[in-house]
Homo-oligomer: A and B are copies of this chain.
Amino acid sequence: MTFRYQHRIHFRDTDAAGVVFFSNILSFFHEAYEASLAASGIDIRQFFRVDDLAVPIVHSNCDFHRPMQCGEIYDIMLTPQQESVNEFSISYQSFKADEAIRIVSEDFTQEDASDLANKRASATALTRHVTIQPRERRRIDIPPMLLAWIEQWSD
């Protein structure tokens, strides 16, 4: 089950070209990531506090298909995936709210939906995260609560 998060574009995230500044879109995706953790019962404040566990992002890539503007509402779809014992990735897609509704309501196979979704997304991205012991900065295994979160929101 993919996690879905709704986000409204605020004025501070736009720039003088009249659209969202590119790197802010990655911030929106991170908001969705935080919301998915909270939805799995993880205490976000604890999670990001970095005592015994830190989960730094080691890679991001993002494709920007369409400009996003102030006041528009987007549905962000998020899917985590385990990559190794101490690494996972998250893929994201954002759709203008009415577009997302249309995609869901139309009658087509899962594969078609995925194709269509990729074409219509305003942005798609991937982040890679590793689990480390923060003081020594050495890798440790993904803890059970994060494995449960991956399980919950994987396809």
**Chain A residues close to B by CB (< 8 Å):** 8, 10-12, 14-19, 21-24, 26-27, 30-31, 34-35, 38, 43-45, 48-50, 54, 56-65, 67, 69-72, 127
Closest to A33 in B: B11
The CA of A15 and the CA of B11, in the complex, are separated in Å by: 7
How many copies, total? 4
> Is chain A's interface secondary structure helix, strand, loop, or mixed overall?
mixed
Expressed in whole angstroms, the minimum distance between the Cβ of A117 and any Cβ of chain B is 18
In the complex, which residues of chain B have a beta carbon less than 8 angstroms from the beta carbon of A56? 17, 19, 22, 64, 67
Give which listed residue, B45, B58, B61, contacts A72 with CB less than 8 A.
B45
User: Which residues from chain B contact A23 at a C-beta distance below 8 Å?
Assistant: 12, 23-24, 26-27, 30, 60
